[in-house]
Structure 1
């Protein structure tokens, strides 16, 4: 049987000085340690507006503590996220001397409590007093009493600056951690999808071989042809995975001047055409890249176009300074705007692609885009009246 926990009692005795407020800054709870550090009782605090209990010093026109705290609390209400304040001076009225304000320094963190709908229901105000610490730093000076105040002010300014630097560093670390987690999630999904794609041809290959071995007198030629196709499929996937690994971890290959028009002519000469190919190629459109990798990029685009085109593929090479532009256009069904980013995701294949080529790996277009990025370019899908229009933009060679 689970014990019943009195969370109110637990909260009151927490070591950290904590205060709970409504979004209107009305105090609803406080820990014992908060009462001790501020010299207040619960009767002094509960049900009262925070800034009525702790107003700014009216005799100090430069007092910024209340204004900064209010701004922090309003940021929490607006964003629904925790806000860490830099070290602040916030003088408070002495509990036994009305009208007398004591110099106090604080580290403060304000955290929201969110409803299931994401609205801020409560504000948790955590504070840590560092007045004695700063005073001790001031007293450690070597210039006697006369120098204590100046040294304290100098030390306080330095601590302020360090606190702000720490806060900025914490924010950068939060963003970095979030980006790392997102990268890890993408990597896990990629490994899972790659394993799934590798398993299919392996399963087919094993099944065919087991059947052939179990049935005597079976004609092995059809089995071997099917096994060869599965082995080629496995080889293609592994080759693509290795290429992506090289693109992810290695610096770009050595560059050389590459004439895009000549690249297109050479690659078309090596391929066995399955559909008509029309070209419009401007001469002397030169970029700096690896000829081998640009050939891989172009072949991936042509393979994709052949898979989806109806009758004709068009290849265009031109300039749009400061860029060289290569376009591969098919007259197939096209790609919906909502799917144009998805086709460049690794192992992501649209339904039409799976129907047209069940053996495709879903890595050709991602590899093509990675190659483009490696040479300071961009590969994307643009609008076209019919079919899909892939556009490669690379910096023109100087």
Structure 2
């Protein structure tokens, strides 16, 4: 079979075609394109399209063509220009332009990486058709002039309708791509959750299975000790499942009842209830009230205090205050601190820093993700702020309306 010379095929295509780089520089043109634009390829190749064809004084055609080419480069989709006036400068007569009308189709040419490598600009001049409409004859000049004007108006109207349809189609394609990207991100997140959950459940399950096998195979084993260890593994499994269910409810925006809660009093109660190993310094502004679920806020505070106690060297500072219409709780420990690069990661489920695994191998890595989700479910937020030493957690919640 004879191999095709694709360069020769491109050159012989009867429609005027040019290949433009992402910078809109001419890379190739065929003979039909040379003919329709009345410029030899030597004056085109290596030059930017708008340098060769600056357009007429109004600049309208330039704006429309540039917008079309930029859409193709940005979106990777074909863009149709059904009718555009784009005046062409008379060769050898700088500043003198001829009125020209065109239809154009701009198509992306994708590279191996899927990105737009260049744009194929196919053009057809329709100036003669427009001129024929304008000079349809003199026998009935007024009547024909009216018909020509009506035809021109109809033609431009249909062109505008087609352009609007193109715009709607582009918006629909953009929404489709965004929805697809969101679905893929959700799938990746779900797959990661499944992988993380499997990893975190495997250890207590393995421990439980091993202990029971030992109890069955060794009649001399201390059954009380084995059962106690098995119970700990089962409790750990229960904690993980409970935390995962709570996260699922929070992330699913499951409705929950709220009440007016004295945040200052709640913090004081949770501090008194917490069995903290470190000394605690407290600065609580009294009477700060929020609209919230007291049970969930108590869990949030418990998670923050437990986390601070786990990482502190000797001291935890707790501060409650109000600024404008926002309530704030700061929990600061004097531990090693968290690098800025990891401050968001600690709010990802099952994420545990190496030092945290060493200090508390039984932790689940779900406490801080749950705390942040509780804050956001109450239209607030939880983040880690800059601190000279240690870690500074700041909880923000909207105050209850007066």
Q: TM-score, normalised by structure 1?
A: 0.77
Is residue 123 of structure 1 aligned with residue 118 of structure 2? yes
1:18 CA displacement: 6.3
What CA distance in whole angstroms lies between the structure 2 residues aligned with 1:230 and 1:7?
A: 69
What CA distance in whole angstroms lies between the structure 2 residues aligned with 1:113 and 1:305?
A: 52
- 1:337 aligns with 340
1:353 CA displacement: 0.9
1:207 CA displacement: 1.0
Is residue 221 of structure 1 aligned with residue 235 of structure 2? no
What CA distance in whole angstroms lies between the structure 2 residues aligned with 1:17 and 1:170?
A: 28
Alpha-carbon contact 2:312-2:333 (below 8 Å) kept: yes
- 2:182 aligns with 179
- 1:242 aligns with 245
Distance 1:184 1:38, change over 3 A: farther
Is residue 362 of structure 1 aligned with residue 359 of structure 2? no
Alpha-carbon contact 2:18-2:26 (below 8 Å) kept: no
Distance 1:7 1:291, change over 3 A: farther
* Count, aligned residues: 372
Alpha-carbon contact 1:90-1:106 (below 8 Å) kept: no
Alpha-carbon contact 2:270-2:298 (below 8 Å) kept: yes
Is residue 307 of structure 1 aligned with residue 310 of structure 2? yes
- 1:278 aligns with 281
**Consecutive unaligned residues in structure 2, runs of 5 or more:** 89-96, 134-145
- 2:140 aligns with none
Distance 1:280 1:53, change over 3 A: closer
Distance 1:6 1:297, change over 3 A: farther
- 2:201 aligns with 198
What CA distance in whole angstroms lies between the structure 2 residues aligned with 1:268 and 1:363?
A: 21
- 1:26 aligns with 26
**Consecutive unaligned residues in structure 1, runs of 5 or more:** 94-98
Listed one character per residue, the Cα deviations across residues 105-132 of structure 1 (whole Å, up to 9, x for unaligned) are 234244564899x9x8x5232558798x
Of 84, 93, 118, which residue of structure 2 is paired with 1:89? 84
- 1:106 aligns with 104
Distance 1:213 1:90, change over 3 A: farther
What CA distance in whole angstroms lies between the structure 1 residues aligned with 2:361 and 2:186?
A: 28
1:198 counterpart SS class: helix
1:378 CA displacement: 1.1
2:207 counterpart SS class: helix
What CA distance in whole angstroms lies between the structure 2 residues aligned with 1:251 and 1:109?
A: 47
1:69 CA displacement: 3.0
1:360 CA displacement: 0.9
What CA distance in whole angstroms lies between the structure 2 residues aligned with 1:359 and 1:128?
A: 69
Of 148, 153, 169, which residue of structure 2 is paired with 1:150? 153
Distance 1:181 1:39, change over 3 A: farther
1:294 CA displacement: 0.6
Distance 1:259 1:13, change over 3 A: farther
What CA distance in whole angstroms lies between the structure 2 residues aligned with 1:180 and 1:37?
A: 43
2:216 counterpart SS class: helix
Distance 1:153 1:293, change over 3 A: same
- 2:268 aligns with 265
What CA distance in whole angstroms lies between the structure 1 residues aligned with 2:50 and 2:331?
A: 69
Of 207, 212, 224, which residue of structure 2 is paired with 1:209? 212
2:318 counterpart SS class: strand
Indicate the larger mover: 283-292 or 166-175: 166-175
What CA distance in whole angstroms lies between the structure 2 residues aligned with 1:231 and 1:384?
A: 38
1:215 CA displacement: 1.1
Q: TM-score, normalised by structure 2?
A: 0.77
Listed one character per residue, the Cα deviations across residues 230-279 of structure 1 (whole Å, up to 9, x for unaligned) are 11111111011101110111344222111111111222343334333332
What CA distance in whole angstroms lies between the structure 2 residues aligned with 1:363 and 1:180?
A: 24
1:346 CA displacement: 1.2
1:39 CA displacement: 7.3
Alpha-carbon contact 2:34-2:41 (below 8 Å) kept: no
1:178 CA displacement: 2.8
1:217 CA displacement: 2.0
Listed one character per residue, the Cα deviations across residues 54-89 of structure 1 (whole Å, up to 9, x for unaligned) are 9577xx65464355435655x589x88747656352
